[in-house]
Amino acid sequence: MLNKKLHMPLYLIAALLFGLKTYIVYRFVFDISLENVMQEFILLINPFVTAFFIFVLSIFFNQRRQLKYIKYGILLGSLILYFNIVFYRNFSDFITIPLLFQGSNAADLGNSVLGLIRFWDVTLFLDVVIVWMLAKKHGSKLTASFTKRYKKMAFALSILFLIGNYALAEAERPQLLQRTFDREYLVKNIGVFYYHVYDAVLHSKSKAQRVFADGNELTEISKYIKEEATTEGNQELQGIAKDKNVIFISLESLQSFVINNTLHGEEVTPFLNSLMDNSYYFENFYHQTEQGKTSDSEFIVENSLYPSPRGAVYFTHAQNDYHSLPEIIGKNGYSSSVFHANNKSFWNRDVMYENIGYDHFYDETAYEVTEENSVGWGLKDKPFFKQSIKYLQQMEQPFYSKFITLTNHYPFELDEEDATIEPYDSNSNTLNHYFQTVRYMDEAVKDYFNYLKEAGLYEDSIIILMGDHYGISDFHKKAMSQYLDKEYTDYLHVQLQRVPFFVHIPGQEGKVISKVAGQIDVKPTILNLLGIDETKDLSFGTDLFDDERKDFIALRDGSFITEDYVYTKDHCYDRKTGELIDSSDQSDEEAEASACKPYMEQVNKELSYSDNIIFGDLFRFYDFGDE
């Protein structure tokens, strides 16, 4: 088959080395759940099938170009794999094409990225070193001019392997490529490299969707919203905050597991705990963000739409037509502003804020930021709130103002003099220091309440506090299991997506509300409290205080929570006990999910409808009846 005798060809050596490395990464670096022998087998063969196809293409080049293709192919593949590893360590997710267009954020990441790099990472490039050395010393021996017959057979074999891999994956997970919201399933079955190819196809498709949209889809979507997600709102609380200021505090990376919890015998969040005595507190409130993190939480609250499954809407669709909260309340006599001591272009906020109707954005240029009052991502929360109060005092009332904190952000750095609780002791430095920055943020919020009272703004305002997204990803399972003294299961992971949500109305008694709720519900809740009637609005949330509200909360990955069940990764759990619900007379995955099955179609439909609105920019075709 070859024109001259040679040892194992270099392309095969590269395929074996790169395939082995990729499998090791899949199995021991990425936290990919494997539930049966078939999934184990697919995960094992996929890296080698992928690597063989990539490197077998080199045989169509002459010997010199073969070497170049193999050398730079294995380097590029290794870099793609490594970038996914670093990203996964923080977000437990894989990079998408839209994220690559958010490169303007990278310059601000600083220590966040450095904290994700490990010393042993250099070993991930050993195969690159080996291939490059072999190419340099024995390149002529390990490459050859292959016969046409050999080329055809090798290429056909690689295609056969790909088809076989996909057939096994489709048999294990039917309609695999329709599960675009679950990137782990795609990587587990077709591999990270073909996942990136598929992601590029999806990105192109979503870009084209706006061009071909004509608004006809809105008929079906608006009908669904009116029937399933529209209520009259709680009549008792309707308009209770009419003409009052609305102060919304976005609590960076704050999860509910620290509320009313202790470390070293001390309360982690003493002020927030005490705030429950005179606030409405929703103890089963879930964040619904995806790759846009804080910007996603903002987008959900402002629009009561779901975030994009890939990338951040603030970047990918910032110029769309929306019917946002700032725009609506602006037409009802409110001025609106955002306070965030960070670069105004981070998450493309300067563009998005203007589009959705915010009147003013107080970014880092509005603050006196020094080396002494900064840490991690910038201005500490205490000076942030202290310096912000003067701007509120100058505002015409009523106003809607959103405050976004910074200190409790990965990698959770804090100056020693600001730490008022000892760090935790586990194998995760991230979790160890998380409690300290959470405590600092809690103290900063306490200070801010005092500033509002001193400024005479407290009594004329309602104050809403919300955790924006998780702070501790499931990359830190061992440490979280240690702290919570529980086994870290898929069920627990979903439950850890709960974030604090307070509605503080001075003069109102406190109440803990246990009903399932989410960020998608915030916009209609605020509008109802302010007494603003938006009967023509299109949103997927319902008033949090309404007893007739929608009975499930959907997460962006297709998981969902009801009053009785938690559904995630094809399994249905009892929400109260965490026990897996299984049928004694059925054994397949459909049986396991039977209790949750009535909700599955509706959740997927709702996520799809929201995507259609965003990708097609459908609100440009809708008359909201605004004057």
- ∠ Cα 272 278 281 (to 5°): 60
What region does 135 belong to: left with phi over 0, alpha with psi -120 to 50, or beta?
Answer: alpha
Which of the residues 50, 96, 180, 294 is marked catalytic? 294
Residues 544, 313: contact at Cβ < 8 Å?
no
Q: How far apart are CA 206 and CA 201, in angstroms?
A: 9
Q: For the purposes of burial, counting CB atoms within 10 Å of the CB of 578, is it exposed (0-12), middle (13-18) or buried (19 or more)?
A: middle
- Which helix (H) or strand (E) covers residue 296, if one does? helix 293-303
Structure tokens at 80: 């793609």
Query: What DSSP assignment string belongs to 2-55?
Result: BSS--SS-HHHHHHHHHHHHHHHHHHHTS-----SHHHHHHHHHHHHHHHHHHH
Whether 294 is catalytic: yes
- ∠ Cα 254 468 624 (to 5°): 160
Structure tokens at 179: 């599960």
Per 3-state DSSP, what percentage of the chain is helix, strand, and coil (rounded to 5)?
50, 10, 35
248 forms beta bridges with 402, 464
Q: How far apart are CA 425 and CA 617, in angstroms?
A: 48
| Residue keyed to tokens 């998780």 | 470
Q: How far apart are CA 312 and CA 296, in angstroms?
A: 6
Q: How far apart are CA 462 and CA 507, in angstroms?
A: 10
Active site residues: 294
